[in-house]
Amino acid sequence: MAHKPHPGRGNGVLVSGFALRASDGAARAGVLSTAHGELHTPAFMPVGTKATVKTVDPDELRDLGAEILLCNTYHLHFRPGADTIAELGGLHGFMGWDGPILTDSGGFQVFSLRDTILARDDEGVTFRSVYDDQPARFTAELAARVQAQLGSDIAMCLDVCPPAQSPHEELVEAVRLTTLWAQRQHQAERSPGQLLFGIAQGAADPDLRHRSIDEITAIDFDGYALGGLAIGEPRPVMFDTTAWAADLLPPEKPRYFMGIGDPEGILEVIERGIDMFDCVLPTRTARTGSALTWEGRLNLRNARFARDPAPLDESCACPACTRFSRAYIRHLVNQQELLGHRLLTLHNLRFVLDLVAGAREAIERAEFRTYKERALARLNTAEVAI
């Protein structure tokens, strides 16, 4: 039976906190305590949208090095429903994962599906569900209640994420509503020990981003996220904004960049002081038949791999690389065999998780700059197979 939510931070169930263990420039290595174990940062969060990382068993995720997963509140709210998941032991029991879980608020899905929005006001947003086209409504209180029923370790505040290149007045309204909803969600009930992260918006506009960070950090959240980036703005602008915005966040709290997962992007945001990040890139790339490697991104559909006996990556210890050849995986991909997608998913996740683990160790040795430069040099000089 699911636990009944209790109000307030910590609820006497868990004394949580973020311990900064090492820093190297702005790059940080730390440990975040949660109700389901410790999270060592910097940390990449594989995305399990519908309470599963596609094709991968929870035990395999542990073996790959994952410590935390991200699940999607929007989709789980509609299918199978938070009540069902709560009755079955919350997300941890439902999906068989005993480590930390972060749940988004569903706001990104609502606002990225702009054609489904029917109305937006101070209380919340009304939209048509992608499942049955029926009107639905999200408020800060509903986002809190659903995430409490899901029983995630980290819940995210409902926010407004406008698309890139939005008019200034739309960015202003997004900041205003994001703050208003964050204040209300901070007062809402949570599941025992559940942490709550606030989100700063403002795109790359310095004045609005400063304003949003000032308003969100004035609320005592357990961590803070930079939202409204990695949604189409130029990457140099994204990285520059991340650098000065992260520096404005409380140093004693974890910092989360929402939605980045390519190797270069990961290293760049770590260098700028980010502790946590997520992206579907490793798993989505696998489903297109491509592998992330130190030789670049390999498209296994390419005919040059038809008789290639080498593993995807010589330095990788994932199940795909230790047992199978590029030629075999190419065969699976071209024949649309599910094992091909599984093996590529296992490999791509291991590649990204290993990259982040290496970055964490380099920060602890005060050698992150060297680690990053060597990693990017290998990736940038690699032959990219298309």
**31 has which bridge partners?**
19, 40
CA angle 364/376/383 to nearest 5° reads: 145
Yes or no: say if 108 and 201 are a contact pair by the CB < 8 Å rule. Answer: no
Among 104, 153, 205, 313, the active-site one is 104
40 — phi, psi (to 5°)?
-90, 125
HSE, CB side, 13 Å, CA atoms: give it for residue 147: 36
Comparing C-alpha atoms, which of 69, 77, 141, 128 is closest to residue 106?
77
Q: What are phi and psi of 144, to 5 degrees?
A: -70, -45
Taking alpha carbons only, the member of 124, 98, 92, 96 closest to residue 111 is 124
What does the block give as tokens for 323?
A: 């047992």
Give the C-alpha separation, 20 to 83, whole Å: 37
Tokens 């970055």 correspond to 359
- ∠ Cα 241 244 248 (to 5°): 125
Q: Which is it for the CA torsion 249, 253, 257, 261, positive or negative?
A: positive
Helix-, strand-, coil-residue percentages of the chain, each rounded to 5: 40, 20, 40
Kindly tell me the burial class for residue 127, based on how many C-beta atoms sit within 10 Å of its own C-beta (0-12, 13-18, 19 or more): buried
The question of whether 205 is a catalytic residue gets the answer: no
CA-nearest of 157, 173, 181 to 205 is 173
Asked if 182 and 219 touch (Cβ cutoff 8 Å), the reply is yes
What is the distance between the terminal CA atoms of the chain, rounded to a whole angstrom?
50
278 is catalytic: yes
From 24, 153, 159, 278, active-site residue: 278
Find out whether 185 and 140 touch, Cβ atoms under 8 Å.
Answer: yes
Give me the residue label for tokens 């035990």: 59
Active-site amino acid positions: 104, 278
